[in-house]
Amino acid sequence: MVDAITKAASDMAGASLLMIPNEPATALAESLLAATPGTGERRVWFGHSGSDANDAAMRVASAATGRGRFISFIGSYHGCLAGSMSISGHTAMTHSLPRPGLVLLPYPDAYRAKFSADDVLALLDYQFETTCPPEQVAAIFIEPILSDGGLIVPPDGFLKALQERCRKHGILVVLDEVKVGLGRSGKLHAYQHDGLEPDMIVFGKGLGGGLPISAIIGPAAILDHAPAFAMQTTAGNPVCTAAGQAVLDTIIGENLAAHAAAMGAKLSAGFAELAERHEIIGDVRGRGLALGVDLVTSRETRAPVAAVTTAKVIYRAYELGANFLYVGLAANVLEITPPLNVSAAEIEEGLDIIDRALADVARGIVSDASVQAFMNW
């Protein structure tokens, strides 16, 4: 990355795609198209974050289809711009009203089965029959693993059945791969676990390896609908796109998706062992190196712990040398997403730290007051 960034910064044709293309942006667009299955003529748009990419995808989907409504999921998080926030369904986003006409579906959760996959599909069918005529819907936004909603893996066949319904009604399928794409799930694209064929794919976060970049891949007929939908001065600049190329080359060249699958299996097995010693661990789920550890007050009731308890675990682990966050609608799920090149030794060290943190919190070593300034959502 250092070499790629240095070379790009030393020979910048310009910082903007608004006037002229640059070689790093063109090369990265070609590489993304080559690495992402799809048919027909496609385009790539660049941005700075998943927030602006999802926002642009939403706006162009509506304009190109002439439809104004969208479908997403309770617990979803698609960004913090006005548009991408308006199609999100996380409890942390209730300070901002959803987009008018948005249909929010439950994301089926095998651990807390309030709604089965069949229940959700039946609910969507009923919406189509009653308050949401499908010809009004431009697109559905799907996270192939519901990340901020609690690292929930969809039941087998659910997303495929959802895609079939959307195809029947001409509804675009948009896959938000911002958090779990590009190798993290154990496949290059997380939607490949479910055999999906999306119309648009949104990338962010990991593509830049720490630099701000996002990308949308979609049909030319949609992305070329009209100019200025993703017009941002420094989007696709040579420095960030050169970094993205180095990241993508490394993920593919070193087969980090397979490494994530192997290390994820080791990590999951390690948490299963911790669950034998810590009753607070109710469920361990995920794919590859995207794991959620669901903390509960009781394994019988599966009631989530209070957010302050989750925060104590994270704070104590941080003191001991491991850094991670929490997610979930009740803020009770440890989000374990180590680097794709994490080693087996580092996983063992991390598990040891979390083992100790759980024990220390159970013994009352961490006070409520000590974590108040460090609460997440």
Tell me which residue of 171, 175, 204, 212 sits closest to 190, measured CA to CA. Answer: 175
Residue with tokens 């699958």: 261
Residue with tokens 């682990």: 317
What's the CA gap between 302 and 287, in Å, rounded?
21
Q: What are the counts of helices (DSSP H) followed by strands (DSSP E) for the chain? A: 12, 11
Orientation of helix 158-168 relative to helix 117-129, angle to 10°? 20
- Among 77, 191, 315, 326, the one annotated catalytic: 77
Strands 214-219 and 200-203: antiparallel
| 107 belongs to the catalytic site | no
Residue 103, token pair as written in the block: 């249909």
Residues 354, 310 contacting (CB under 8 angstroms): no
What's the CA gap between 54 and 324, in Å, rounded?
25
Q: The dihedral of CA 132, 51, 185, 277: what is its sign?
A: negative
Tell me which residue of 168, 169, 194, 166 sits closest to 180, measured CA to CA. Answer: 194
Cite the DSSP H helix spans in the chain.
2-10, 23-35, 50-65, 82-86, 117-129, 158-168, 220-223, 238-253, 256-277, 307-320, 344-362, 368-371
- Residues forming the active site: 77
